[in-house]
Amino acid sequence: MPETGKWQVRWQSAERSARAATRAAVRSAQTALEGARSAVDAARQAWQAAPRHTQQTWRLTAVSAATGLAVALAAVAAAGPWDSGQRTAERTEAGSMDGASGEHHAADPGPAPSAPPVLPALGAAAPGSAGRGAAPVPTDAGLADALAPLLKDPALGPLRTASVLDVAAGREVFGESQGKAATPASTVKLATAVAALSALGPDHRIDTTVVMGGKNRIVLVGGGDPTLTARAPQHGAEEQPANLRTLADATARALKKRHLTKVGLGYDTSAYAGPAEHPIGPNENIAPVAALMTDEARLDDSDHGTAPRDTDPARAAARTFAGLLHERGITVDGGPAGAKAPKKPERIATVRSLPLSALVERMLTYSDNDIAEALARQTALAARQPASFAGAGKAVHAALARQHLPLTGAVFEDGSGLDRDDKVTAALLSHLLLQASSPDLPALRPVVTGLPVAAFTGTLSNRYRGQSAGAGAVRAKTGTLTGVNTLAGTVVDADGRLLVFSFMTTGTTDPQGAQNALDKLASAVANCGCR
């Protein structure tokens, strides 16, 4: 039986090791504790008097204990050191995870490209410090050699600006007209995200409520949640957006407890102020900005991207709510009408949005304009500014100023970047990402985790194909308007150094060529040790 033979060899080897360890321990004990000799003699006599099978059991126990202790010590040494009750290795692993809130950002993304970690463990020593094992710092001259020629690509427009920052050092390692303001297009959503998170916090949720508006009347009050849905819940999703069906369930129960089965229905959109229509006019990229809407007022079954939109999202949501109440045994007397909730309303039902962190991630991954405008207005509400385009712009500017960000020339006409009058610098975009990448500002981390991954998710899912250095390694927010192309994000360079970048160009005539030129710039940073 060859397996038994192998076991016996291993057993004899382990037995010899145990005996050697025992002898060493005994010698040490004899030297240190002379008074324990009698106990040792007694133990030896007990060993000799014990039956053979008992001796084998004791030997196995000794070997197992010694082996287990050695393994445990090795594991602790490998995982340590410890910091405030948490292994630093465990914290590092947690820091390197992709915090995408469990959401699948693409219907069929295919296998993930093989690439270095997109984000090192922020706060860990290796990528950021100058100590042993730290990634080398790229030099200004090295990056200039890599990027300056690419900025001369004729596909780029006459205005070309760039900023690359080293996250660990917190300094700029490359710049080209980085202080000159330009139209950011959708990369302005980075500013919207940082402003909202800093003003409200990542755990903030937006309420949609039903209150009593009189003896036999209720009012549906919109709080500004653009992700409120009237669709059936998605099976298997870890997190569900607030659902109008759930609100109808709770409302029907509350009304029946009051012995009410027939009520009037009003809807209140007073949380927002100013014009609802974006300055670009009716557009499939965005719905009228209303404090009450379901499924972003989409008239098809899509959940992101362009789609035909209802021109009166609040009224459409209220009509849907009336139909849901009818299905639950509550008759709405007449049609829903605009109304104002009482100053001291009696709430009878409430649903809450996903946390702000999840809304930010979705906004950035899909470049969702409706969420962007909603978050800008939530920032205005937090600042006690009118929740309008103008009030939101002031609130975003003020929130970023409190973060001591470079706001020279910054203009925020909207929260989405659809307005061509928005202006920011490449330096502002890169510093927004620098703050979001800082281990000292964990509340801003959704700005980084929500960025699309090159060749894999969101608005970058169809870009960087064939660019091995950038695919899977670049995470970036895109921005595109006619004649405007921007890209801002994070990348780990060839030496493992975490960098943030922003590239902006205006006056382009070849949209695809300009887009490819920006992608090459980001890939060059990923491929560069640049020392």
List, by residue number, the catalytic residues. 186, 189, 367
Comparing C-alpha atoms, which of 347, 419, 11, 409 is closest to residue 189? 419
**Per-residue burial over 181-190, b = 16 or more CB atoms within 10 Å of its CB, e = otherwise:** bbbbbbbbbb
Distances (CA, A) of 522 to 146, 474, 477: 11, 7, 12
What number of CA atoms fall less than 13 Å from residue 214's CA on the CB side?
9
Residue type at position 52: R
DSSP string, 62-118: HHHHHHHHHHHHHHHHHH--EETTEEHHHHHHHHTS---TT---SSS--SPPP-S-S
The phi, psi pair for 130, rounded to 5°, reads -100, 10
Cβ-contact 356, 205 below 8 angstroms: yes
Comparing C-alpha atoms, which of 46, 234, 70, 163 is closest to residue 488? 163
**C-alpha–C-alpha distance, residues 76 and 67, integer Å:** 14
Strands 331-332 and 346-352: unpaired
Residue 404 gets the label, from left (phi > 0), alpha (psi -120 to 50) or beta, of left
